[in-house]
Amino acid sequence: MDEHKENIQGKDVNVKMSEETEDEKTKPCSRIRPDEETAPQTSQPNRDFSHPVYKEISLANGHINRMSKDELRIKLAELKLDTRGVKDVMKKRLKNYYKKQKLVQSAAEGGPTDTYYDYICVVDFEATCEEDNPSDFLHEIIEFPMVLINTHTLQIVDTFQAYVKPEVNPQLSDFCMKLTGITQQTVDEADPFPEVLHKVVEWLQERELGTKYKYAILTDGAWDMSKFLNIQCRISRIRYPQFAKKWINIRKAYCNFYKLPRTQTKLSTMLEKLGMKYEGRPHSGLDDSRNIARIAIRMLQDGCQLRVNERMHGGQLLSVPSSAPVEGAPPPRNPGNTE
């Protein structure tokens, strides 16, 4: 629902937005200063960046900044790295290759390391919609997909998909069925949201996420958790699940990492900038999630340290500063009823 989410962003008033988040809508992603590129984000507070490895990284960055696009492509090819993408993407890829090499060597010698989560779980809901959504329209989740990335192997290792029977507007609009490819019969035969959420929790628990393995939720924008899940929990009269209260907004991470404007963070555009094409059916929740996962994997390959950058608190959508300690999502539990 990539483009359609853009259309409803300003219309849905079912969740309060903090002033900080509203401001972020009207300005491009914050730019990373050149001197910040040499200091990777870390889960360990008060890190000493005087370690010699960071000077070496800084010198390599300076050399890469002076390279032409052709020189970057030649060097990437020599290192057997991906040569696709615009100049800024290739530059970032090369810088982070050398950064990772230096940090791996440093870790072997007892120096700084570069690790966050064991798994990243991509979620991209499909929800009921109309071509021109009225301001009071309640979007109900009708597809709950998840794609699991192993951050150590950089592979998609598992998927989950369940359709959901809507309660308030059980009849799908023609526009919704055409957009998502989900039929009326599919949702009629599906379980209601509380039962689907129970299956989701069981799926996460079976993979020992939040207990044995550290993990985080990742979404394409803020809407999935702050709007769709928030609204759905109210409709279903259940509490908002704790494990979904913090997540990685890949759009924010993408534009900050590659230093691109927020106008270039639609799913199709992000893929294009990375030299990739969409695979599957657009607006299928599972296919969208797979393609978002492909972007996340490419960013990890390029050296991006994906970390939680948004959260829900007291019904408000808030940003998580990069200075905050890095924490994985809590063990998944079924939320109680609100009544």
Catalytic positions, written as ranges: 126, 283
> Are the C-beta atoms of 15 and 226 separated by less than 8 Å?
yes
Which residues, other chains included, contact 229 with Cβ-Cβ below 8 Å and sequence gap of 6+? 125, 141, 240, 241, 244
Q: How far is CA 56 from CA 52, 76, 183, 304, in A?
A: 7, 19, 57, 18
CA contacts within 13 A on the Cβ side of 274? 27
Closest CA to 12 of 136, 141, 166: 136
> Are the C-beta atoms of 250 and 296 separated by less than 8 Å?
yes
In this structure, the strands spanning 16-17 and 316-319 are parallel
> Measured between alpha carbons, how far is 172 from 193 in angstroms, rounded to an integer?
16
Take residue 85 and report the two structure tokens written for it. 């993408």
> Measured between alpha carbons, how far is 300 from 265 in angstroms, rounded to an integer?
17
Terminal CA-CA length for the chain: 31
Cα-only R_g, the chain: 21
